Amino acid sequence: MTVHTRYRYELALCIPTHPPIPASPTRRPDLRLLAAGCSDSNSSSHSNPPPPPPHHHHHRPTFSSSSSSSQPPSTPTSSEPLAMPEEDITKYLRQSHARVFEHNRAWVTEQTKKDPEFFVKLSAGQKPEYLWIGCSDSRIPAEQITGLQPGEAFIHRNIANLVNNIDLNVMSVIQYAVRHLEVKHIIVCGHYGCGGVKAAMTPQDLGILNPWLRNIRDVYRQHSEELDAIPDESARYNRLVELNVIEQCRNVIKSAAVQQSYSKNKYPIVHGWVFGLDDGLLKDLNIGFEDMLAEIQKIYNLEDS
Amino acid sequence: MTVHTRYRYELALCIPTHPPIPASPTRRPDLRLLAAGCSDSNSSSHSNPPPPPPHHHHHRPTFSSSSSSSQPPSTPTSSEPLAMPEEDITKYLRQSHARVFEHNRAWVTEQTKKDPEFFVKLSAGQKPEYLWIGCSDSRIPAEQITGLQPGEAFIHRNIANLVNNIDLNVMSVIQYAVRHLEVKHIIVCGHYGCGGVKAAMTPQDLGILNPWLRNIRDVYRQHSEELDAIPDESARYNRLVELNVIEQCRNVIKSAAVQQSYSKNKYPIVHGWVFGLDDGLLKDLNIGFEDMLAEIQKIYNLEDS
């Protein structure tokens, strides 16, 4: 059995018979934490490659039953420049590109069948009532887990759902959503087992990620007394995930756009939620928006009255 | 008929009988362009409020047939401090918050029914093959239009899908996706009728949005000869949307992470796509990744060989 035939594709819609590209050797072993998400706290001491992707994706390549599901069948060594022949890589990349367009056409057909006017309405404009600030993690499709339809949620996603004062990217999103779209709710949603939060606490130089993730250490510093008192590492990380969400809510509330709109309109309300990957449920941290706003305004008042 | 009974809700799952909050008076009329998306180029001269949201959302409040669908039934005047009594606003906000949790529970039930192991697999880790850099626009749910499942696409969305050299937010996302998740494809996806692109070209002070949107004027400047030669305004904007995507692809390719990974692994491939709101289709701009990379490396070479 060659390495190629050890793979199969589950559905005919996607690429018929071509192997996925095994990940190249992990050059920074501890960084697998970032990809592994909420793996247990001992995983950083393992020397195995990261786990394969979950197998519930109907349209993605999976290993056949003849391969161990806990380990890719072909792990390239560092002496191999490429994990498979270049022409195979090229073919795989072409096919994994093409399947998205097939999915897209299928989606258009399905939407049009359900509602022939769907795209006419979609192109008429947007008036979303929710702004979602969430993690880039591929396992948290904001619209699906909230059941929000196209047109309902303005979306910003970054690593570890951070809101930083001088980040023009997220601040433009907030300003636009509040002042021009007049959203009614702003949701900061983190998730338990956040690899970004875990990586932020790992004593390792992550290059350009250092300053970004440093914001999470700032959260730790603000709440070190509470966090240091939690003996279980996994529980401590999960509490840090929650505290990170709460601090990012504060950062949203510090903005002039939110304070001024709330003073005038009684919205938006800022919410802190956490998504549980192991049960799919959203948990409301009940941050107490009005009290938090009042507390913030002791120092950050921008009501402009 | 009171203003309250002029509204209804389509499905029992959501809030039974409470009116949505009309948008407050538009204080910056031209900014409606941002929300209106691909409305025709004459819309900036209208003084009407923005169009109501599209009515295809199953779980969101819609106006009843007794109201004009082209205009909200109750447009508050600027002398009214609030669009409706505060207790009604509070009630509406509480209900529109609660419905998301109902949707979430329904989603969990549905997923578990389809696959009892769904969340066990989801919490095992992520190994996405795609990085999606798209617009925050609420009408472009990346996972739905691409058919990509939870775990398949790492997501960053901002206003007008911009990639800026000094934006630590998007640069952290790229670095992490390429070096640690080892994505195979990076997709920059714009959309025709992008309100952000249109607003960027509007001669108006948008506050903190100015410097963010200025990147789009930079794209215009780079391609002014081509753009100025397009007489139809709508066609010109749509070409600017395409050129913006192409320039953001260049910005992705300028990064060390992409250049070094491609040199070593032959991936990721960078793609420029545009989503059509009026037909739901993804259009591949066929940017010619290899040629673009070679051209970029004449000046921006970071291969580190």
3-state secondary structure B165-207: CCCHHHHHHHHHHHHHCCCCEEEEEEECCCHHHHHHCCCCCCC
pLDDT along chain B (305 residues), means of 10: 30 33 41 37 34 38 28 38 82 95 97 96 94 98 96 98 98 97 98 92 92 97 97 96 98 97 97 97 98 97 81
Q: How far apart are the first and last CA of chain A?
A: 75
Helix (H, G, I), strand (E, B) or coil at A163: coil
The verdict on a CB contact (< 8 Å) between A52 and B212 is no
Q: Could you tell me if B176 and A135 are in contact, meaning their C-beta atoms sit under 8 angstroms apart?
A: no
Task: Give the whole-angstrom CA distance, residue B122 versus residue A144.
Answer: 14
Q: Which pLDDT score is estimated for B83?
A: 67
Chain A interface includes B218 (CB < 8 A)? no
Residues sharing a CB contact under 8 Å with residue A93, sequence separation 6 or more, in sequence order:
A21, B184, B185, B266, B267, B269
Work out the average pLDDT over A178-193.
97
Give pTM, 2 decimals. Answer: 0.79
CA distance, residue B223 to nearest chain A CA (Å): 24
CATH code linked to domain A126-300: 3.40.1050.10
- Listed in sequence order, the DSSP H helices in chain A are 32-36, 86-114, 118-122, 142-146, 168-175, 195-200, 209-222, 224-228, 233-253, 256-265, 289-300
Task: Give the whole-angstrom CA distance, residue B249 versus residue B241.
Answer: 13
A–B interface: beta-carbon pairs under 8 A: 374
- Select the residue of A82, A126, A146 nearest B265 (Cβ to Cβ): A82
Question: What is the complex's ipTM, to 2 decimals?
Answer: 0.79
Q: Which pLDDT score is estimated for A97?
A: 95
Residue A14 annotated as binding site: no
A303 falls in which pLDDT band (50, 70, 90)? Answer: confident
> In chain B, what residues touch A30 (CB-CB under 8 Å)?
none
Task: Give the whole-angstrom CA distance, residue B290 versus residue A193.
Answer: 37
Q: Measured at the alpha carbon of residue B103, what is the angle toward residues B117 and B2, in degrees to the nearest 5? A: 170
For the stretch A160-183, pLDDT in tens is 999 999 999 999 999 999 999 999
Hey, how many other C-beta atoms are within 10 angstroms of the C-beta on A298?
Answer: 7
Hey, how many other C-beta atoms are within 10 angstroms of the C-beta on B80?
Answer: 12
Hey, how many other C-beta atoms are within 10 angstroms of the C-beta on B143?
Answer: 19
Q: Which pLDDT score is estimated for B65?
A: 29
| Residue A139 is among the residues annotated as catalytic for this protein | yes
Residue B194 annotated as binding site: yes
Domain ranges of chain A: 4-99, 126-300
Task: Give the whole-angstrom CA distance, residue A285 versus residue B175.
Answer: 31
Work out the average pLDDT over A243-254.
98
Q: Measured at the alpha carbon of residue B135, what is the angle toward residues B131 and B138, in degrees to the nearest 5? A: 115
- Answer whether residue A25 shows pLDDT above 60: no
Q: Shortest CA distance to A94 belongs to which of B108, B284, B279?
A: B284
- Answer whether residue A12 shows pLDDT above 90: no
| Residue A189 is among the residues annotated as catalytic for this protein | no
Work out the average pLDDT over A181-204.
94
Query: Tokens standing for B165?
Result: 């050299």
For B36, nearest residue in chain A (alpha carbons):
A125
Q: Which pLDDT score is estimated for B85?
A: 87
In this predicted model, which residue has the larger pLDDT, A3 or B302? B302
CA distance, residue B171 to nearest chain A CA (Å): 8
Q: Which pLDDT score is estimated for B296?
A: 97
Work out the average pLDDT over A43-57.
36
CA distance, residue A1 to nearest chain B CA (Å): 25
Q: Which pLDDT score is estimated for B54?
A: 40
Instruction: Write down the residue that tokens 């890589």 correspond to.
Output: A89
Q: Which pLDDT score is estimated for A35?
A: 43
* Amino acid identity, position B95: Q
Query: Tokens standing for B35?
Result: 């929300």
Query: Tokens standing for B214?
Result: 């200025």
Q: What phi and psi values does residue A86 have, to the nearest 5 degrees? A: -60, -35
In this predicted model, which residue has the larger pLDDT, B80 or A202? A202
Residue A135 annotated as binding site: yes
Q: What's the mean pLDDT when you consider all of chain A? A: 80
Chain A interface includes B105 (CB < 8 A)? yes
Percent helix, percent strand, percent coil in chain B, to nearest 5: 45, 10, 45
Task: Give the whole-angstrom CA distance, residue B242 versus residue B197.
Answer: 10
Task: Tell me B137's DSSP state.
Answer: -
Residue B14 annotated as binding site: no
Q: Measured at the alpha carbon of residue B26, what is the angle toward residues B24 and B31, in degrees to the nearest 5? A: 135
Considering only A78-87, A95-104, B251-260, B288-297, which range has the smallest mean pLDDT?
A: A78-87
In this predicted model, which residue has the larger pLDDT, A154 or A32? A154
The length of chain B is 305
Chain B interface includes A39 (CB < 8 A)? yes
Q: What phi and psi values does residue B17 have, to the nearest 5 degrees? A: -145, 80
Residue in B169, B171, B304 to test binding to A, most A beta-carbons within 10 Å: B169
User: In this structure, which long-range contacts are made by residues A207-214, counting pairs with CB atoms below 8 Å and at least 24 apart in sequence?
Assistant: A207/B175, A208/B168, A208/B171, A208/B172, A208/B175, A209/A159, A209/B172, A209/B175, A209/B176, A211/B168, A212/A159, A212/A160, A212/A162, A212/B168, A212/B169, A212/B172, A213/A159, A213/A160, A213/B172
